[in-house]
Structure 1
């Protein structure tokens, strides 16, 4: 048995992790009115946010084409892999997980084991890293690896701050009047995942207060745990992300804190200036 670990581009894993743990990736798409791009490889994050400032209409996003998924599985089979643990973003916001289920039936002599992370971004990547670590440690029973990933969900979570309400307005989730009033009052919606869907968690005035609110929730959820890995995620707001990272390291001195970002697919929905904080109490090696 030879096990590959696969995730999709919305995990936004640093290249160093992909190489260290031999994690495979498949890209989701961002669709503007004139062209479709594979995120990161055909449209990088900086160019995406620059373009979005001048767009009156939000792009749409889509899961990888089925043909691309099948082609990837065929190439993994040629490399000698017999099994693939496919860690994908939440099935409640994308059809990528279902694509893994469908592709599994289309390629012979390689078994895909789809795993619904029920989340996205770097926290989704935590699951892929954990799976890859277990494979590198010699674990060969896929069911045991999947059981450990499922158990991670009990103490793994993420919260997101929407800074710019324009994307919610463009996407039809707020009308113009609501967006205007919210902007005037500096209201920052807080979001999180519940049952695979992104839902509101709270509304807080100012980004600084929103960050503090998430820190308070983090302290409650990780109280009593020894292992703690935290990721600060930014949507073209590196200054606040670095500041927040420093604050988190001071308040949680035993934690391993890393930085990540919202790429084009997730950035389409959260908008520029968004911040997120994700964490797990499962033991991870996040050294590069």
Structure 2
């Protein structure tokens, strides 16, 4: 088996992973003031948030064209790969991974496996990097897919956002949740539930919201009872992320804690200054 791993630009990946010759990344477009930017190619997170502050229109995101994905799969096949694991942004946020199933049998001689991460950013990057490591070790396809399922089942994320309007306008959270948040002046903690962004708990202040998310991460660690990685993910709020990393490291000294950022696509939905705390299996 010669395996290629395909993912999309919402995955937060290490520099080593990005240099892996078996990895291929599909950019997801962001549209800002009528101009289309391909995440990770035309625009990076730092540039994006500067543009966002001065934008005249609410930004939107779009799915990559299926034709472009098919062309990539065909190119991968021509390079001698016979198997592709294609790991993508949660189907609860985008229909892209579901649509890939319609072309998975289109490349002769290549077994294409679209995989719904049901998450994004650093936890999704963890899935991608795990498969790259397992491939280097010569693991079987069955072992890799089983490990992906285990990671997915033991991944949780909790997000504290400054403003729910982005999620509501983008259709990623119900208006009802936003209305309640506005009326009660709460700081909601959001989570991924079967791949969809949902209200987890309504908290009265940012400080209490962060404390609650930290505690829930600890509960999940005890439930998983396996080696895990903890992630602090920020939308142009590095100082807060560094503070949260320190808190998590002090509370859970045996865990690996890493910082990353939400790119333009997820930043569009969560809004600037959003912070995510996540837990995932460590391979």
**Fold shared per TM-score above 0.5:** yes
Q: Which runs of 5+ in 2 are unaligned?
A: none
Aligned to 1:18: 18
> What TM-score comes out, normalization by structure 2 length?
0.90
Aligned to 2:250: 250
CA distance 1:247–1:21, change in 2 (3 Å) = farther
C-alpha contact (below 8 Å) 1:166/1:179 kept by paired residues: no
Q: List 4+ stretches of structure 1 deviating above 6 A.
A: none
Deviations 1:193-213 (A, max 9, x none): 112211110122332221111
Question: In the alignment, does 2:216 pair up with 1:221?
Answer: no
Aligned to 2:188: 189
SS in structure 1 at match of 2:253? coil
Question: In the alignment, does 2:161 pair up with 1:162?
Answer: yes
Q: Which runs of 5+ in 1 are unaligned?
A: none
Distance in 1 (alpha carbons) for counterparts of 2:170 and 2:15: 31
Aligned to 1:77: 77
Shift of 1:188: 2.1
Shift of 1:226: 4.2
SS in structure 2 at match of 1:146? helix
Where in structure 2 are the equivalents of 1:1-288 lying within 5 Å?
Answer: 1-19=1-19, 22-139=22-139, 141-168=140-167, 170-171=169-170, 178=179, 181=182, 185=185, 187-223=186-222, 225-280=225-280, 282-284=281-283
CA distance 1:265–1:105, change in 2 (3 Å) = same
Shift of 1:78: 2.2
Shift of 1:155: 1.9
> What TM-score comes out, normalization by structure 1 length?
0.89
CA distance 1:23–1:206, change in 2 (3 Å) = farther
Cα root mean square deviation, aligned: 2.3
Q: Tell me the number of residue pairs that the alignment of Structure 1 and Structure 2 aligns.
A: 279
SS in structure 1 at match of 2:269? helix
C-alpha contact (below 8 Å) 1:84/1:110 kept by paired residues: yes
Shift of 1:34: 1.8
